[in-house]
Structure 1
Amino acid sequence: MFEIRRATPSYAQTAFEIRLQAIRHQCIGAYTEEQMLAWTAGAAEDGYDVLMDKYFYLGCIEGEPVATGMLDLENSEIGAIFVLPGFMREGIGLKILSHLEALARGLGLEEVKLDATLNAADFYRRFGYVGDEPAVYHSPSGLQLACVPMVKGLSL
């Protein structure tokens, strides 16, 4: 059974590990190995853990976390949608995305934005996100990665 639940700080390392595995599996070819290793270096305590204070969610199967997703309400931004490799292509990413969009709508946002990784832009386009112009994402750690800024209007 699949459920989505709010993450607590005790799940920071689990969420970080889901992110690491998803990036290293799904982003091959879109980014260099050097970029992926730099992107996934460190530990949850290096700053990822503070995301648990936002609207950060875990997608769980039989109670075990297999996916993550976050709504940054201050910036009207969806992020951190990652799915463990063994559970990719089962609709879990869409379930997380839909949950975050419904949450954003319920909190009064008229649109949401995100920075899609190069390999994920087509996924977001299939679900109504608009954006084609490449840009550079500047991570808090100083890493710079190519991305595609996208936006979606939320009809009520």
Structure 2
Amino acid sequence: MFEIRRATPSDAQIAFDIRRLAIRHQCIGAYSEQQMLDWTKGSAEDGYDTLMHKHFYLVCIEGEPVATGMLDLEHCEIGAIFIRPDFMHCGLGKRVLHFLEDMARDLGLTEVCLDATLNAVDFYRRCGYVGEGSAVYQSPSGLQLACVPMMKKL
């Protein structure tokens, strides 16, 4: 059974673990090994857990969390779309993205933005996002990563 449910504070570590697995699997070649290790070190209690208070969601299959996604209303931004490697290429990323876009529409947003990781730019373009320039994402931990700012009218 497929379900998208709102994350709770107790889901923070599993969401962090899905993120770590996805980055270390999917970002090979887009970022250096050291960048990926720095990006994924630590635990949810290092600040990731605060995201659970936003519109943060878990995708569960047969009750097991396998993907995440978030809508940041304050910044009209979609983020934290991470798929566990053993569930990649099954259409979950697109399903999460459409779920978040529908929610944004329902909440009155007319456009959303995101900072696409270099490995995900083509995926977002196929989903209707536009953006050509590059920028540097500054993580709360101080890590800097190249990204492509993108947006989509809803």
Q: Distance in 2 between matches of 1:101 and 1:140?
A: 25
Query: Matches of 1:2 and 1:90 in 2, distance apart?
Result: 12
User: Distance in 1 between the 2:42 and 2:86 partners?
Assistant: 23
**Alpha-carbon separation, structure 2, partners of 1:68 and 1:29:** 23
For residue 48 of structure 1, what is the aligned residue in structure 2?
48
Residue 64 of structure 2 corresponds to: 64
TM-score (norm 2): 0.99
1:79 matched to 2:79: yes
Query: Which one-letter code corresponds to 1:46 in the other structure?
Result: D
Identical-pair percentage: 74
Say if 2:21 is the partner of 1:21.
yes
Deviant stretches of 4+, over 2 Å: none
The C-alpha deviation readout for 1:54-84, integer Å capped at 9, x for no partner, is 0000001001000000000000000000000
Q: Which runs of 5+ in 1 are unaligned?
A: none
1:120-144: per-residue Cα shift (whole Å, max 9, x none)?
0000000100001111000011000
- The whole-number CA distance in structure 1 between the counterparts of 2:84 and 2:7 is 16
DSSP 3-state at the match of 1:115: strand
Distance 1:132 1:44 in 2: 32
3-state DSSP of counterpart to 1:120:
helix
1:145 and 2:140 aligned: no
> SS at 2:21's partner residue?
helix
Q: What TM-score do you get using the length of structure 1 for normalisation? A: 0.98
Take 2:66 and 2:100, find their aligned partners in 1: how far apart are those partners?
A: 16
Take 2:123 and 2:85, find their aligned partners in 1: how far apart are those partners?
A: 16
Aligned AA (2:89): R
Gaps in structure 2 of 5+ consecutive residues: none
For 1:83, give the aligned amino acid. I
